[in-house]
Structure 1
C-alpha cells in the first residue's frame, strides 16, 4: 500500500523522530514472527501506512515511535493468526528462520520501560533458536504481549492498545507466556558459550568421521533432530528421537567432498553451516543442555537460507 506522495525508498522515513526506527522494528517483528522475510514485509507495510498519512496527519502524531510500534505490532498479530493456518499445510516441520552471524537483527535498543529485572529476557536470549521455538508454542496474543512487555519493556497499557485487550488481560497473556519460558529455562541447565561451541565442534568432527559412538556420547539420551525442507528439498518430515537414532542418521549421511561444513553463529549461538559449491544448503542450530546436545534444528528450506548465501564472499 503506497500513497501518491510516498518516496521511492520507504525504508528510510524522513524526519529525525522516525529515521532510526527501522532496525528496532525489524528486531521486534522478527522475534514476534520467527521469519526474517515476514518481518521485512511487516516493516515495509508499517512505513507504507506511515507515508499514506497526509502531512498534517503525520504532524499530528505526537509520538511516531509509539505509532510505528502499534502499527507493526498489529500487523504481526494478523500475520501470526494467518500463519497458524498456513503452517498446517506446511510440508514437514516448520523451524524459525535462522539468522547469520553478521546481522543487525541480533541487537537493538530495547524500550526502557519498567519491568521486574528477575523476569527480564535479554535481546540475545530472545533471538536464540531454542527461545524462538518456545515462542512458536504460544498463541498469537500471548507471543505479541510477551515480546512487547518482557523483551522490549513496553508497559501493559501500551501493549493493550496493540493487542486490543485490556491491560489486565495482557498481564495474564504475558504471565502464561512467561510460565512457558520459565519451564524451558529450568530444563535447559547452564552451559557457557565456550562450552557450547566445544560441543558443537566435537559433533562436527564426529559427524565428519562417521563415528556413531562419539556422536552418541555428545547427545542427550532423549535428543531430537528436526529438519525443515519446506517441501522444496528432501528432509525428514518428522523429528528423529533418541541419541542412537540421531547419531546413526548423521553418521549414515557422509559428507561429499564438495560439501563443506563450518562452525558459525546461528542466532547468536554456536552452530554449523553447510555449503555446496559456495552456496549454503543447510544451517544447523543446537540446544546444549548440561554439556550434551538436547536438540538439533536443521534448516534446509532454500527460501530461509538466502541471507546466508548472500552474505558469503
Structure 2
C-alpha cells in the first residue's frame, strides 16, 4: 500500500486526457532515444548518394537527405542527442539553482549579492547569451550544455528563493532553529522537501526550453558540430533543399514541436496538481 499515494497522484494527474497524451508522447520519445541502437533501421551516418533526396517510401519511412542518409534513423539518434542535452541542462541548472536559491532565501547577508548576479544574467536575452557563451567556449555538446545551464539557472534561483523566503518563517523551521538543529540539516530536511513542487514544475519547463534552444543554436551553427545528428542540425542542413524535399525539415521540426509541447503540457498538469488552489478548481 506504500504506492497508493503515488497511484492516486498519477490518476489525478492523468485525469486530463491531454496530459496523458503528452506523457505518452514523451514516453515514446525517451524510449526511442534510449534504445536508438536497436530501433534505428540504418546507420544514421551511412551515406548512399544514389538514394539522395528520396521521398518517404517503404524502405525509408521519412525519406532520405541530400547525402542519402535515412531521415527516420537520424531522427531517432537525434532524439538521443537533443533529449540528452536537455536532460543534462535540467540536472545542472536545477541542482545549481536550487542550491543558490536556498542560500539566497535563507541567508539574508548573501541574498543581495546572489540576486544581483541573477538579475544581470536575466537581463540578457536567453538565446543571445547562449550564443555568446558557446562562441567563447567553442562549439561542442558539452559546451552547449554548460551555456544553456548558465542561461536557465537564474530562473530556478528566483523560484527557489521566493519559496524559501516563505517557508523559512514557518513555525516548524523556527522550532528546528530553537532546538539547535544545524543549518545544513534545516536546509536539506526541512526546507528543500517543502519547496520541491515548484522545482519539479520548473524542471519540465526548462527541459522544453533547453530542447528548443539547442535546436536554435544548432540551426544557427553555434551548437553541436554538424556531423552529430540532432534535430537542430538536421533542419539546418536540410533548409536549402526544403522547397523540393519538405521531409528534410518537416519531420525533425515536428519532433521538436511534439516534444517541447508535450513537456509544457505535462508541466502545466504538474503545476495544477501541486498548487492547492488550482487542484481545488480541478
Same fold by TM (over 0.5)? no
TM-score, normalized by length of structure 1?
0.26
Higher-helix-fraction structure: 2
Higher-strand-fraction structure: 1
Bigger RCO (CA 8 Å, 6+ sep): 2
TM-score, normalized by length of structure 2?
0.28
Q: Which has the larger radius of gyration?
A: 2
